[in-house]
Amino acid sequence: MPSKSLNSFGARRPLQDGVHFYSLPAFESKSGIGLGKIPYSIRVLLENLLRMEDGRLVTKENVDSLARWTPTNRPEKEIPFIASRVLLQDFTGVPVVVDLAALRDAAQSFGVDPEKINPLFPVDLVIDHSVQVDAFGSPDAFEKNAALEYARNGERYTFLKWGQKALRNFRTVPPDTGIVHQVNLEYLASVVAVTADEEGPMAHFDTVIGTDSHTTMINGLGVVGWGVGGIEAEAAMLGQPMALLIPDVVGVRVSGRLAPGATATDAVLTVTQLLRKRNVVGKFVEFFGPGLSDLSLPDRATIANMAPEYGATVGFFPVDEETLAYLRLTGRSPEQVKLVETYCKAQGLFRTDRSPEPVFSDVLELDLNTVVPSLAGPKRPQDRVSLKDAKSSFLKSLSAPVQERGFEIAPELLGAKGSIQDGAKPADIAHGTVVLAAITSCTNTSNPSVMIGAGLLAKKAVEKGLTVAPHIKTSLAPGSRVVTDYLDAAGLTPYLEKLNFHLVGYGCTTCIGNSGPLPEAVSKIVKEKNLVVVGVLSGNRNFEGRINPHVKANYLASPPLVVAYALAGRMDLDLSSEPLGTGKNGPVYLADIWPTPQDVQEAVRTAVRSDMFKTRYGDAEKGDAQWNALSAPEGKQYAWNPSSTYIKKPPYFDGMTLNPGPLTDIQARAFWLYWETR
């Protein structure tokens, strides 16, 4: 862990009420290096280096190299980045806790108190990746899926519950609370944190690395963070820096505002296509310009979430008034909101419409007025297609070669189909039939405007007499329980349920392949006829085989469009001009049921309340009855089950002593024997 900062640049200054900080303006004054035009995200990294400078892990030269960043003179140097906290989900979090438990056993064998083994930096683990959509389309789907989740994952959950109790600096959010990135956005992230160093309380930027690629969602809140591998996360947890090549920063100048009919999902699919073409892999992306003031915080988070899909390390939005408004909405304390405002203004990093624009390595333009209703697919998130072109694009993909992201269906097989008994009547399953429709993923379920929009569209569809065919596997998997609260408050839940979009769980479901099995009759026909059937989901990834093994074509879409395609039941349909179906009074078109921006804004304004976030997150770490019923081992050390085939004590420390022996030559004899006998 870094020792006391050397403060070579005299940047440590008082902030408020006995709290100090490492001042970027003070650094400018002392060093003579101007920072006013450097991208906000680079200045956040610079504060990190100033605060962590100890002459060993972080040197004065590291600080100087980063401070001299320019668009045309980016030093080809690495800097050490020490994040202030680590974010885990349960799949990637279990090995981390296993290693900590093994370290505690080793400490005991060395005669050291095992309780001394803890993360040095705060660690948050959100259990969200284990729920699968088995039950759907019924009022008890959530309870059934939760019961199966615990039955399948009891051993893992018991182990993590031990970690929750035994480890310090380690916080666990139990299952069925929400998706890790939405929980991070709505609850865990502080934007500005206060921790104690050797000289007292110190304010600093909240920075995070996580073991899930979509950790970048938090960039929408003004927090620098990204996804890493498990080894890097463990090193960070134990105080070790990450080596980061000083990045290029691509600026995206945002102007205009979304036109009626366009959603934040359409904007993010447009951004993903735009940036993927520009090749921003390994680079920072930072959004700026007058359009930010008309872009809500959830919209920003939706765009930031997709940074892995457009290839960037981060997709950063600076802190501004919208950030503060979101912190208030989501129940952060007035004192925390004031700290964020005071600190960011003191650092010169509080964006306003009058703030000078930073300089960037490259600049792209995003005019929100040009964004149109869109989908992405059928195989990659960057393959955006406008709604009006979706039909022709899909039909073309059926015959297109695989190397052109097609399915190579022979001409004589394009008309293949089968029939199943679908409730009270038969239904044809053919190429282009929608068999899976999922409102899912951290990307969109964090955004009230698109979730409310889906509910309003469902309401109008029900009122016009439209229904969803029973063979379509529908699901509603919100990113937090607050989504259920505001859909209930808006009176929209009953309409979603009438279209079979019942709650199935709070977790990362369809996006990671936890869509569960299709109805048996559907999967049987798909296999027999080799059909290219379709999934439509509000997620962030749609690679073939990822969503469901029987669903070859998958399209990313906004939650309202997910409902619309479930109603239509087909992808070979132009929803911009052809009817979705026949209602009580004849054909019904998408335009007939699409909610107006005014309707969405009014519903969001009245239904989404701060008290919902305060109530839901007030006891987020306590868990539900099933979590509390788990009987987890007590004590400083984990009681390993020798018969377990999953949670096993690793052998890393077997035979290790406190005083390592002398280094010896590597014995390569076995390798040479193998080589000589080839």
Instruction: Tell me the per-residue pLDDT of 450-473, one tens digit each, with 9 for 90 and over.
Output: 999 999 999 999 999 999 999 999
Do residues 341 and 422 share a domain?
no
Classify residue 211: in a domain, yes or no: yes
Do residues 392 and 437 share a domain?
yes
Query: Of 593 and 543, which is predicted with more confidence?
Result: 593
Distances (CA, A) of 556 to 186, 370, 440, 535, 543: 24, 19, 10, 9, 10
pLDDT value of position 161:
96
Sequence-distant (≥ 6) Cβ neighbours of residue 333 within 8 angstroms: none
Predicted TM-score of the model (pTM): 0.94
How far is the C-alpha of 104 from the C-alpha of 92, rounded, in Å? 20
Do residues 457 and 360 share a domain?
no
* Percent of the chain predicted with pLDDT > 70: 98
In the listed set 347, 371, 395, which residue is the last one of a domain according to the structure?
371
In the listed set 81, 111, 132, which residue is the last one of a domain according to the structure?
81
pLDDT value of position 436:
98
Sequence-distant (≥ 6) Cβ neighbours of residue 214 within 8 angstroms: 181, 227, 305, 307, 308, 442, 443, 540
pLDDT value of position 1:
47
Do residues 380 and 509 share a domain?
yes
Classify residue 343: in a domain, yes or no: yes
Degrees, nearest 5: CA angle 360-365-370: 165
Q: What is the CATH number of the domain that holds 100?
A: 3.30.499.10
Classify residue 677: in a domain, yes or no: no
Classify residue 61: in a domain, yes or no: yes
Cβ 429 vs Cβ 421: under 8 Å: no
| DSSP line for 465-509 | T----TTSEEEE--SBHHHHHHHHHTT-HHHHHHTT--B--SS--
Do residues 444 and 359 share a domain?
no
| DSSP line for 220-278 | GGT--EEE--HHHHHHHHTTPPEEEEPPPEEEEEEES-PPTT--HHHHHHHHHHHHHHH
Bond before 318 cis per omega within 30 degrees: no
Do residues 92 and 31 share a domain?
no
Based on the structure, what is the number of domains in the chain? 4
Classify residue 198: in a domain, yes or no: no
pLDDT value of position 506:
96
Per-residue pLDDT reduced to its tens digit, 12-59: 999 999 999 999 999 999 999 999 999 999 999 999 999 999 999 999
Do residues 543 and 508 share a domain?
yes
Cβ 129 vs Cβ 512: under 8 Å: yes
Do residues 64 and 168 share a domain?
no
Instruction: Sort strands 314-316 and 284-288 into parallel, antiparallel or unpaired.
Output: parallel
3-class state of residue 13 by DSSP: strand
Do residues 216 and 293 share a domain?
no
Per-residue pLDDT reduced to its tens digit, 113-163: 999 999 999 999 999 999 999 999 999 999 999 999 999 999 999 999 999
**What is the mean pLDDT of the segment spanning 300-326?**
97
Do residues 409 and 525 share a domain?
yes
Tokens, residue 29 = 């004054």
Q: What is the CATH number of the domain that holds 366?
A: 3.40.1060.10
Do residues 119 and 252 share a domain?
no
Single-letter amino acid, residue 626 = Q
Per-residue pLDDT reduced to its tens digit, 343-360: 999 999 999 999 999 999
Structural domain harbouring 109: 82-192+206-244+649-672
**What is the mean pLDDT of the segment spanning 222-236?**
94
Among residues 93, 92, 116, the alpha carbon closest in space to that of 104 is found at 116
Q: How many residues does the chain have?
A: 678
Classify residue 200: in a domain, yes or no: no
Do residues 256 and 112 share a domain?
no
Per-residue pLDDT reduced to its tens digit, 399-432: 999 999 999 999 999 999 999 987 778 899 999 9
Classify residue 51: in a domain, yes or no: yes
Confidence check: pLDDT of 676 > 80 = no
**What is the mean pLDDT of the segment spanning 566-576?**
97
In the listed set 343, 371, 399, which residue is the last one of a domain according to the structure?
371
Confidence check: pLDDT of 2 > 60 = no
Per-residue pLDDT reduced to its tens digit, 88-102: 999 889 999 999 999
Distances (CA, A) of 181 to 129, 169, 378, 442, 478: 11, 19, 25, 6, 12
Classify residue 440: in a domain, yes or no: yes
| Alpha-carbon 434 to chain mean position | 26
H helical segments located in 110-228: 141-166, 180-183
Mean per-residue pLDDT over the chain, rounded: 94
Backbone φ and ψ for 510, nearest 5 degrees, come out as -60, -35
